[in-house]
Amino acid sequence: MDLYINKYSYIAPGRIYPNISCESDGLSSIYRALNIDYPKFFKMDGMSKLGFLAVELLMIKEERTFNPRADIALICFNSSSSLNTDRQYHKSIFLDSYYPRPSLFVYTLPNIVTGEIAIRNKITGETSFYIFPEYNPEQIVRTVRQTLDGKPGHTAITGWIEYSDNVHEALMMQVSNRQESSADIPFSPEKAGELMQHLRSITINQ
Amino acid sequence: MIDYTGDNIISALGFTTEENYQAVKDGLSGISFHNSTATLPEAYQAAIINREQLHSSFAQHCSSDPDAYTDPEKAAILSALTAAAGAGIDLSSPDVLFIISSTKGNIHLLDLPDSFYDARSLYLWHSARQIASFFGNTNEPVTVSNACISGLCAQIAAMRELSDSRYKYAVVTGVDLLSRFIISGFQSLKALSPAPCRPFDISRNGLNLGEAAATIIYKKRSNNAEDNLPHDLHKKQCLAETKPLHAKTLNSSRILLVAGSVTNDANHISGPSRTGEGSLAALTDILQYADRSEIAFISAHGTATPYNDHMEAAAITRAGLNEIPVNSLKAFFGHTLGAAGILESIISTQALLDNNILPVPNFEQCEDEYPLVIPTENTPTQKQYFIKMMSGFGGCNAALLFQKTEKDGLVH
């Protein structure tokens, strides 16, 4: 089955694709620029906010119906799991100030971001999370291909959601066997690698 | 469809699959009471691996620098080693892929000053590489971290890899050891029971935690029927504690992993859908591959939280499976997080090969709304399938279908 990247989105400090005008770099600023009404956003940890927004950007031109979609698989990858939030939770259990915070603990798993995206977009198909040392297009293409195998017509929303102290970066792609436009990119390791390289190097613009 | 070809469990109930299964069959629980301490002010019930035995076993059988590996890595390595020795497989082969399942890995290291450990140890991919490279395996391992269903996802990944790629074997190892991080976190959610947990019982009031390392080795099914027969075991030097491969070859029955499904409730990040939507969808998906009348039992997640067990009862009933015996292993092992899906699949395969449905301890009465058949003693069965189902934080659900096959390895 030939697969295509139908559309993609990217968020990193100072780089957002599709480009929208935001007051600042911060994730809350992107949220406001997107004009979404979703108060739960403010309860999320950094990684969940990042992933949530990357999918909102991915869907920016879509008419959102929010009907349950069992035909969409949400497959995400990163390197640090939920380590950023893990460290924050751990501060709440320091020996000299022991107040374990459940509102933080619930976010100490990498697949909570896939849960948040699934809730927002009503994705009832497969949601999965895998950990690799770095953005690995070969592995991502292989995993997505294997997940969609035997499910023609299904769609994968897939990508890299990395939120750590020094860097936040999300690349999300919609992948399917449909060629939705001439701009679609073949979903191959080479093309998925080139796409990330290109997005990582585009000039900072607001 | 893939061949189940080797396994091992390291848990509070022992360091071999045989010990663990026998303990469960005899009604022994690995869960014990842990009093409050300076570092964890609230008492809790948990099933803990014997650390002395872990360290001495590792030192004895894994001739390597013990300081180079964390306890979770040691447990995973020892588990994979035992499973491979029992199945006569060389883990260094390029035909072998490691698939590692864990929720928190080495998170206990956060309790130490930064200078006391290698920062890379906090990354699950690093632990996975440590495990694979211990055996001289150079393939990049696949690391699954999908909350409590990770162990089932990892087996589904094995099924996909073995149908799609060049690999002949997948070593699926799950591990999670407990820590202040994990215990305090579950305590903060008020999810733990102060007593041994009571899956599916009307007065259940929470889960117990546990720790384990568990490994299943899967083999690609060949088109050549001969390749699917149990292979001769090499007379290798196995670990001192390992008994020869047991019921699996004694009666030449084999286990197949037939199908698997993962779904999401799309409802809440830390509580299941009240009506079990996602769980029902996962069950419905795998039921396409089974003759319902041949399903011996359902090994449920059965954490004994009020919400989870109710949700599973709803899903099982809505799937039309409510006359099939349902059990949970959480009262024996506690909730072993990233290891749970693998550990519980192994115990359930042992039961199926033993023609036995394991009981649920501490059970007296079901809830009224979705009554289930809950066995309270070991129950004979001649049926050929079981279902393993679980759910996890992030709204995810998974179900696997296992089948016992006849002597020649062919599916009749």
Per-residue confidence (pLDDT) for residue A205, from 0 to 100:
53
Residue B239 has pLDDT above 60, yes or no: no
The Cα B272–Cα A167 span in angstroms is: 32
Per-residue confidence (pLDDT) for residue A165, from 0 to 100:
79
What is chain B's mean pLDDT, rounded?
92
User: What is the rounded radius of gyration, in angstroms, for the C-alpha atoms of chain A?
Assistant: 17
Residue A192 has pLDDT above 60, yes or no: yes
pTM here?
0.95
Per-residue confidence (pLDDT) for residue B226, from 0 to 100:
54
The burial of B324, by beta-carbon neighbours within 10 Å (0-12 exposed, 13-18 middle, 19 or more buried), is given as buried
Query: Which residues of chain A lie closer than 8 angstroms to B107, CB-CB?
Result: 86
Q: Which of A113, A131, A166 to mutate to test the interface with B (most CBs of B within 10 A)?
A: A131
> A123 and B265 in contact by Cβ < 8 A?
no
Minimum mean pLDDT among A12-16, A155-159, B257-261, B298-302: which range? A12-16
The Cα B55–Cα B53 span in angstroms is: 5
Q: Which of A93, A113, A147 to mutate to test the interface with B (most CBs of B within 10 A)?
A: A93
Percent of chain B past pLDDT 90, that is, above it, reads 86
Strands lying side by side in the sheet with B44-47: B31-34, B44-47, B209-210
List of E strands, chain A: 4-12, 15-17, 72-78, 127-131, 155-163, 168-176, 185-186
> B160 and A147 in contact by Cβ < 8 A?
yes
What is chain A's mean pLDDT, rounded?
95
The Cα B28–Cα B20 span in angstroms is: 9
Higher pLDDT among residues B39 and B241, named by residue: B39
State how far the alpha carbon of A104 is from the alpha carbons of A41, A85, A95, A166, in Å: 14, 7, 17, 20
Per-residue confidence (pLDDT) for residue B407, from 0 to 100:
59
Side-chain-side CA neighbours of residue A195 (13 Å) = 29
Instruction: For residue range B289-344, list pLDDT tens digits in order.
Output: 998 999 999 999 999 999 999 999 999 999 999 999 999 999 999 999 999 999 99
Query: Which residues of chain A lie closer than 8 angstroms to B285, CB-CB?
Result: none
Q: What is the DSSP letter of B334?
A: -
Residues with Cβ within 8 Å of residue B12, at least 6 apart in sequence? B30, B31, B32, B47, B48, B49, B50, B210, B211, B212, B333, B334
> B164 and A114 in contact by Cβ < 8 A?
no
Residue B384 has pLDDT above 50, yes or no: yes
User: What is the rounded radius of gyration, in angstroms, for the C-alpha atoms of chain B?
Assistant: 20
Residue B241 has pLDDT above 90, yes or no: no
Distance linking the first and last C-alpha atoms of chain B: 14
Instruction: For residue range A58-86, list pLDDT tens digits in order.
Output: 999 999 999 999 999 999 999 999 999 99
Searching chain A, which residue's CA lies closest to the CA of residue B398?
A126
Residues with Cβ within 8 Å of residue B396, at least 6 apart in sequence? A111, A114, A115, A127, B146, B147, B149, B262, B263, B264, B265, B278
Query: Which residues of chain B lie closer than 8 angstroms to A110, CB-CB?
Result: 145
Between A108, A126, A133, which is nearest B185 by CB?
Answer: A108
